[in-house]
Amino acid sequence: MKRIAILGTGSVGQTYASKFITLGYDVMVGTRNVSEKLAGTAKDGFGNPPFREWHAANKTVKLGTFKEAAGFGEIILNATQGVNSINALKLADGNNLNGKILIDIANPLDFSKGMPPSLLPELSNTNSLGEEIQKTFPGVKVVKTLNTMWCGLMVNPAMINGGDHNAFISGNDADAKGKVKEILKSFGWLDKNILDLGDISSARGTEMYLPLWLRFFGALNNGAFNIKIVK
Ligand SMILES: NC(=O)c1ccc[n+]([C@@H]2O[C@H](COP(=O)([O-])OP(=O)(O)OC[C@H]3O[C@@H](n4cnc5c(N)ncnc54)[C@H](OP(=O)(O)O)[C@@H]3O)[C@@H](O)[C@H]2O)c1
């Protein structure tokens, strides 16, 4: 059974963990502090139930520290808060990441100045979170993908337009991108709709789409929409 580590306990981490279980993976979710996470009873900022409720209903998902999860996973998925992802990955320990594929779906959104959030200046325009992760952990094969849509759609593209819309992929390692593409196809993404944007610097483009995504969301009041490229 293929082992995957999902770093992140929010709604995105939960969505991926559930999906990978249904696909037959052995899944461990990573957090900063396991006992604190299981003790929490507060809803998150979006009104979602506490992690413990989700975990009680998803007992086959293992829970460990970021470090334990990264050590466990053959593949790592970063679903941590983007402005804190580097910190979370340092807690995971680069030695547990080296040589592995790291699927990065996080966005460096700064909520500290209210809604809508803005991109962290040092991780945008001439930089991106995807690149920053690659620079900080050169032994990791970072593949940025699926960060341009609501998490429900990431793992279930068939939800809208018969699955005919686009996902993007960025990364320096062609083999790693090929493997991640196969994972996307297992979610239902059509091969023709997975657009390879090039090396990890192309993550600047997908991360900088977020300010527009947030305005679409504000206008539509619904997250189940996506980009379809027409020529
Ligand atoms: N919601 C969507 O549909 C969507 C769509 C596209 C991309 N994304 C991206 O997906 C990622 C996850 O989003 P989310 O809403 O599920 O969760 P989130 O609230 O953005 O992140 C939760 C995770 O971040 C960790 N974290 C928070 N502060 C930290 C710190 N100071 N140091 C280390 N780790 C820290 C938390 O650790 P603990 O477990 O210890 O609390 C938790 O695991 C984000 O980067 C978001 O931008 C979300």
* Domain range list for the chain: 3-220
Residues with Cβ within 8 Å of residue 218, at least 6 apart in sequence: 116
pLDDT cut 90: percent of the chain above it = 98
CA of 7 to the centre of ligand 1 (A): 9
Average pLDDT over residues 96-121: 97
Taking CA atoms only, the protein residue closest to ligand 1 atom 21 is 81
Query: What is the pLDDT of the chain when averaged over all its residues?
Result: 97
Taking CA atoms only, the protein residue closest to ligand 1 atom 34 is 88
Domain 3-220 fold is Rossmann fold (3.40.50)
The per-residue pLDDT for 190 is 98
The per-residue pLDDT for 46 is 81
Q: Is the pLDDT of residue 36 over 90?
A: yes
In angstroms, rounded to a whole number, what is the distance separating the alpha carbons of residues 131 and 201? Answer: 6
DSSP state of 192: G
Residue whose tokens read 């983007």:
82
Residues with Cβ within 8 Å of residue 123, at least 6 apart in sequence: 82, 83, 108, 129, 132, 207
The per-residue pLDDT for 45 is 81
pLDDT tens column, 48-92: 999 999 999 999 999 999 999 999 999 999 999 999 999 999 999
Q: Is the pLDDT of residue 44 over 90?
A: no
Element (H, E) at 104: strand 101-104
Q: Is the pLDDT of residue 1 over 90?
A: no
Peptide bond into 116 cis (omega under 30): yes
The per-residue pLDDT for 107 is 98
DSSP state of 178: H
pLDDT tens column, 124-179: 999 999 999 999 999 999 999 999 999 999 999 999 999 999 999 999 999 999 99
Taking CA atoms only, the protein residue closest to ligand 1 atom 17 is 10
**Closest ligand 1 atom to 109 CA:** 47
In angstroms, rounded to a whole number, what is the distance separating the alpha carbons of residues 108 and 123? Answer: 7
